[in-house]
C-alpha cells in the first residue's frame, strides 16, 4: 500500500488513502453479507445480528500515532495504524464468533495478517472481543493495492459492555478511579456468565427441536 501512495502529491495522498480504506470496507462488508446470506440459505440461521463499519477520523489517527511515539505522516499512518478501516460483527452467541472467524479466514482473496483473541484471553479491564486484521485487494484502473481492515467479532452482550466502558473511560481520559474499574470488571464477568448461559439455553433448544 505504501508504494501506491508514494506516487501521489501530499495534498492528494490523504484523499487517496481514505478512498482505499473506504473501498476496503465496501469489499469486506459485501463479503460478510454474502456469507451471512449463504449461512441462512444452508442452515436457516443468521450468525450475524448487525454489521457496523467506520473509518477513523484524522484526529483519532493523529492521536494514535502520537500515543505510539510516531511522527504524523501518511506513511506512518498506513504502516502503524491498523484499525483505520474497521468492521464490527455483532453475533448472538459466542459459538457464532469462531464460526464466522473460520469462514472469513477461508476467503481466498482475504489475507489474515494477525488474530487477537480477547475472548479466551480478556484484557485486564474485562474487555472481550475477537480481532482479525486482514488485507483485501482493491483493484484500481492501473494497479492493485492490498488494504488493511480490522474485523472485530463480538456478542451483543460483549458489545454492550465495550460501548459503555468506552464512554466511561473517555470521560476520565483513561484515568478512571479504581472502584469504577473494579465495577466494570465485575460487570464484564456478569456479561460473560450471561453469554455462557444463553449459549447453553440455545443448545438445549436446538437439541429439543432435533428430538421432536
CA atoms within 13 A on the CB side of 34: 9
Given 3-state DSSP classes, what are the helix, strand and coil percentages for the chain, each rounded to the nearest 5?
Answer: 55, 20, 25
In the numeric block, which cell numbers belong to residue 59?
A: 484526529
Distance CA 49, CA 33 (A): 11
- pLDDT at 5 (0 to 100): 44
- pLDDT at 186 (0 to 100): 94
> Could you tell me the pTM of the whole model?
0.88
For residue 125, give the DSSP letter: T
Q: Within the chain, which residues score under 70 in pLDDT?
A: 1-12, 173-174
What fold, for 2-211? Beta Polymerase; domain 2 (3.30.460)
Q: Where are the domains of the chain?
A: 2-211
- pLDDT at 173 (0 to 100): 67
Torsion of CA 77, 83, 87, 92, to 10 degrees: 180
Cell 474497521 -> residue: 86
Which residue in 185, 137, 132, 161 sits closest to 23, CA to CA?
137
Amino acid at each position: 500500500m505504501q508504494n501506491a501512495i508514494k506516487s501521489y502529491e501530499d495534498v492528494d495522498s490523504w484523499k487517496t488513502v481514505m478512498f482505499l480504506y473506504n473501498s476496503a470496507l465496501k469489499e469486506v462488508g459485501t463479503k460478510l453479507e454474502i456469507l451471512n446470506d449463504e449461512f441462512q440459505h444452508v442452515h436457516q440461521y443468521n450468525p450475524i445480528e448487525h454489521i457496523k463499519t467506520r473509518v477513523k477520523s484524522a484526529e483519532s489517527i493523529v492521536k494514535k500515532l502520537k500515543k505510539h511515539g510516531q511522527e504524523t505522516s501518511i506513511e506512518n499512518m498506513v504502516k502503524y495504524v491498523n484499525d483505520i478501516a474497521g468492521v464490527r460483527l455483532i453475533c448472538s452467541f459466542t459459538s457464532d464468533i469462531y464460526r464466522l472467524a473460520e469462514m472469513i479466514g477461508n476467503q481466498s482473496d482475504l489475507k489474515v495478517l494477525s488474530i487477537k483473541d480477547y475472548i479466551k484471553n480478556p484484557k485486564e479491564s474485562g474487555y472481550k472481543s475477537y480481532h482479525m486484521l486482514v488485507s483485501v485487494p482493491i483493484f484500481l484502473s492501473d494497479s492493485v493495492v492490498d488494504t488493511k481492515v480490522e474485523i472485530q467479532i463480538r456478542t451483543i452482550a460483549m458489545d454492550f459492555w465495550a460501548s459503555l466502558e468506552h464512554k466511561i473511560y473517555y470521560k476520565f481520559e483513561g484515568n478512571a478511579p479504581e472502584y469504577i474499574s473494579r465495577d466494570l470488571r465485575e460487570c464484564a464477568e456478569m456479561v460473560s456468565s450471561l453469554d455462557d448461559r444463553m449459549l447453553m439455553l440455545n443448545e438445549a433448544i436446538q437439541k429439543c427441536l432435533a428430538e421432536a
